[in-house]
Chain A
């Protein structure tokens, strides 16, 4: 039997730290404007404001790599950037990789090589892998491992991730695509 609480729940308190800011940026090629609290991260803006839930929240402290996106062409962690810092910048998420309904070659290769198990880290892995190719770090297995070291996979699909990246590098697929 549940008892009725004696004291009603406190009404929501006004947040003295709240301040709004408008950020205009490009997301996957489309101009977007987000009005949000100044404390909102790029990760939360993408997921909660723009509905782009492909970018995952793992640790929220820059340790796991699940929220890797590209800002102005460089891979960064969306949890360690405020949305307001992206004003005027170009953001690419996992949703922006496909072209004309066809998956990016890296997405294809991850499927072909079974480069995941549960799939939670996969968007971040793929965003990192696409950037790694562009950075010219896919020459050796050792290089691939080193430059994928910011993306953790608790299912330990690492060998298949390396195989997928090698495959795309061999085909020169990224340059043809992006």
Chain B
């Protein structure tokens, strides 16, 4: 196995164009497990940890451009205030040691249906930036996930950044796991409420992370946006039903399909309450 360690993005893209078989490695928290257990024998690894450009973030026009190589620990510490939903998801990843190495770019590269950041990226309307020697393009997160552990990357492309709006309303993420740390999600859910936008997405409950369009439409049409009042239980239950109906989970070692569907409804109801409370608070603060 060749080990390729470029120090600039241009160099990395040139290498990836020459060696499309090279597997990119950032924090290594997914790729290394596959190597250690001989589940994968790549001809080459492309180490992205020496590329400073990928480990930066910037802010402009109400958007954050988050470099693919920013660790979860830095995301939580440096961007927790402006990207609260993504920070919540990041806090549930692995352990402090894992969060010191793992990155959102790596989560996207692995594209596991259970990846923790995916529901937030979907619900917030994030765009994924991809680059190759041919140029750059951005894709809506929902167009990025194409199947179980499959994504829209071309063989010569690398994930360079994620673009997300700074939170202006309520954002929530919740995850079910068998313990508090070091767990792969049994199921997870994210909700984002801001003026003119209602995003909701499920994780670990379908072949890909998935937006729940009908539930989003329900929120957009039916939430009392102009006079934000507490929500009736019947309203929350209707939302929970729409979320659960969008799931197509499987039975596996982590949980049964029936449990996942039920738990998603509970997560949806709770997170809607919390996110709406935050939205109401921000609406009052602006009034």
Contact = CB atoms under 8 A, between A and B. Distances in A.
A17 B33 contact: no
Which residue of B2, B32, B73 has the most chain A CB atoms within 10 A of its CB atom? Answer: B32
Nearest to A151: B95
A20 B73 CA distance: 32
Given A81-B101, A82-B28, A62 B1 contact: no
Contact of B33 (A74, A75, A80, A131): A80
Interface stretch (B13-21, B34-42, B111-119, B185-193): B34-42
Contacts of B33: 61-62, 80
A82 B45 CA distance: 10
A149 interface: yes
B157 interface: no
A150 B41 contact: no
A129 to B, nearest CB: 11
Interface in A13-46: 17, 19, 21, 37-39, 41
Contacts of B36: 41, 60-61, 79
A128 B28 contact: no
Nearest to A37: B1
Given A80-B28, A84-B5, A146-B180, A62 B98 contact: yes
A144 to B, nearest CB: 12
A24 to B, nearest CB: 13
Interface residues of B, number: 29
A81 B28 contact: yes
Contacts of A149: 95-96, 180-182
Interface string A142-171: 000011011110000000000000000000
B47 interface: yes
A77 B97 contact: yes
A124 B211 CA distance: 40
A150 B95 contact: yes
Interface of A: 17, 19, 21, 37-39, 41, 60-63, 65, 68, 74-77, 79-82, 84-85, 87, 128, 131-132, 135, 146-147, 149-152
9 contacts: A61-B37, A62-B97, A76-B101, A80-B98, A81-B28, A84-B3, A85-B25, A85-B47, A147-B96
